[in-house]
Structure 1
Amino acid sequence: MKENTTLSLKAGAKKRKSVVDRKNKSDTLFSFLLQLLKISVAVLLLAISINLFLGPHDIAAGGASGIGILAESALGIDRSWVVLSLNVVVLILAALFLGKKIFFNTLIGSLLFPLALRIVPIGMLTEDRLLSVIFGSIVFAVGVAILYKIQASSGGTTIPPLIFEKYFGMNPSLGLLFTDMVIVFMSLYVFGFEEFLFAILSIGITSIVMNYIENGLKRRKAIMIISQDYTKEIRDQLTNELDRGMTVFDARGGKNDCDREMIMVVVTGQEYPLVRKIVDEIDPKSFMITYNVAEVHGLGFTYHPIQ
């Protein structure tokens, strides 16, 4: 009887382990497919930006795609083959100097990007060069931001700066800027001064949009409120209206040396007008400081309690 019970327990444990293993494999496969989908969408956006907006107007705004545009114009080589060749070289460098992790993070995007350049037709959606630069740069920034978010890459000029950082201590942002500026100055020689200026504009727009996507979409407002006589009333009203947590600090006036309390609360942009309204209605003489916060982690923002 005892042996049968032991065997049953072992069989049950083995079965549970098998179920867990299958679930883990299923989760791993799902994560890989989701990552592949995100990379595919990102490189498709990059290809749309290059083939439909920037490339037709000879705007080589850095990166492997910029070299591809230059080579296609100067030598007649298809830009997708140029990008593929550069990415193969970059993958070899990543494997030799940066290790397996960066190599595998770069591998899929490096191979899919030239394929996307080949698939997306080349055409001029608008003859207005400025419009093409603006919209092309925005689309490009969204694609790169997606890759950054999932710690992937489309290869190209993103790898050499990482090598410079590892072996020479160079800031990767400076390394990338230097590499892109070399390509932009090459466009001055190949295309002319106007295309050179538009390439610089494109880099600027891409940088601004990427920064906004990375920080601006999660931007919150932190508010400091000091009321001489109505701190409790303001706290109660904010709690009732917003259901937000807040912190109360002991503060002291620098001019009159009086002790008082200061409320700190973090809210979304949509909630900010309500906070101002509440504070103004309760104590119009209150002192309030508001500043932007790039990102907030914690209850009510990155996770929510189960009701």
Structure 2
Amino acid sequence: MYYVYKYTVLFVFSIVLGFAFNMFLLPHEVLSGGVTGLAMILGLLSPINSGIWLVILNIPVFIIGLMKLGKEFIWNSIFSVFITSVSMQYIPIMKVTDDALLSAVFGGVITGIAIGFIVRFYGSTGGADIIGLVVTQKHDIPLGVLIFGINSTVVFISGFVFSWNLAILTMASIYITGVVIDRVHTRHIKLSLMVITTKGEELKNELIGNLIRGITIMSGYGAYSNNENKVLYTVITRYELALVKSLIKNVDPKAFVSVSETSEVIGNFRKS
């Protein structure tokens, strides 16, 4: 049931992303950032649709993501990029409003919401999202801020290709997108995770293999069941919760899981 819910969310917000591009940003030549922005530039300058360029340019980035973030993440990302690309083929490029500034603002907000939810469910829209997530694995930098920094290069390209007025609108749009991503993605919220399971060793290996967090294991004893259990304790980020829940459900669907917000973490937060 979780996977149906996850892919429904990825499907819906991937279409929302294509809607934001074709209805708000592309009609005014206000670009998104990073690889997506480059795809939009090439789509405007060539007869090939931006959605096709989006797939082509993401291939090398996906290879990096596969090595650093794992197969599930890449599959989710490929699914998201594919749905976005297809939606951009069928959603007409038309102006919702003639005001370029309004389009930049609302396009940035909608794009940020869509990307935020896609990343929250352990996917990405490719490009700067993947690069940003790889960096945030090792450095505690807000994802939206990092994506904004990476995407700023597109502003200068768009300034030379189109006009500096459009470059300024692009900067405003990707800044708004970055702010909204951090509101939705909430990566900096730390969570304390406690799992009571009869499959302690198997679950430990699964979590260690997919996270960069250390795990403390304690022995437990069920007062009612009289069964021996293992208690796994770790601290994760809010963004990792969707992946962790999926891993726990696959290993031990009957595990008892407690998740609580942690106000501060002192010491080594990452696996050495």
Q: TM-score range by the shorter chain?
A: 0.5 to 0.7
1:69 aligned partner, one-letter code: M
2:149 to 162, 178, 203: 178
Show the counterpart of 2:162. 191
State the shift of 1:297 in Å: 5.3
Distance in 1 between residues matched to 2:133 and 2:117, nearest whole Å = 19
- Structure 1: which 5+ residue stretches go unaligned? 1-29, 216-295, 299-307
Specify which structure has the higher proportion of helix.
Answer: 1
Show the counterpart of 1:116. 87
Alignment of 1:127-276 (within 5 A): 127-163=98-134, 173=143, 176-213=147-184
State the shift of 1:35 in Å: 1.2
Q: 1:151 to 1:97 in 2, by over 3 A?
A: closer
1:44 and 2:15 correspond: yes
State the shift of 1:212 in Å: 4.0
User: Secondary structure at 2:55's aligned position in 1?
Assistant: helix
Q: Which is further off, 40-49 or 87-96? A: 87-96
Distance in 2 between residues matched to 1:99 and 1:148, nearest whole Å = 14
- Checking the alignment, whether the CA contact within 8 Å between 1:64 and 1:86 is kept in structure 2 is yes
Distance in 2 between residues matched to 1:92 and 1:75, nearest whole Å = 26
Distance in 1 between residues matched to 2:183 and 2:131, nearest whole Å = 25
Aligned residues: 189
1:81 to 38, 47, 52: 52
Show the counterpart of 2:36. 65
- Structure 2: which 5+ residue stretches go unaligned? 187-259, 263-272
User: Secondary structure at 2:131's aligned position in 1?
Assistant: helix
Distance in 1 between residues matched to 2:67 and 2:182, nearest whole Å = 31
Q: TM-score, normalised by structure 2?
A: 0.61
Show the counterpart of 2:65. 94
**Larger C-alpha radius of gyration, 1 or 2?**
1
Q: 1:195 to 1:158 in 2, by over 3 A?
A: same
State the shift of 1:134 in Å: 1.6
Alignment of 1:270-285 (within 5 A): none
State the shift of 1:140 in Å: 1.1
Distance in 1 between residues matched to 2:181 and 2:44, nearest whole Å = 28
Alignment of 1:27-38 (within 5 A): 30-38=1-9
Show the counterpart of 1:253. none
1:255-304 alpha-carbon deviations (Å, 9 max, x no partner): xxxxxxxxxxxxxxxxxxxxxxxxxxxxxxxxxxxxxxxxx859xxxxxx
User: Secondary structure at 2:36's aligned position in 1?
Assistant: helix
Q: TM-score, normalised by structure 1?
A: 0.54
Show the counterpart of 2:27. 56
Q: Higher relative CO (CA 8 A, sep ≥ 6), structure 1 or 2?
A: 2
User: Secondary structure at 1:151's aligned position in 2?
Assistant: coil
1:210-267 alpha-carbon deviations (Å, 9 max, x no partner): 344456xxxxxxxxxxxxxxxxxxxxxxxxxxxxxxxxxxxxxxxxxxxxxxxxxxxx
Q: 1:165 to 1:36 in 2, by over 3 A?
A: closer
State the shift of 1:162 in Å: 4.1
- Checking the alignment, whether the CA contact within 8 Å between 2:73 and 2:122 is kept in structure 1 is no
1:143 aligned partner, one-letter code: A
RMSD (Å) for aligned C-alpha atoms: 2.9
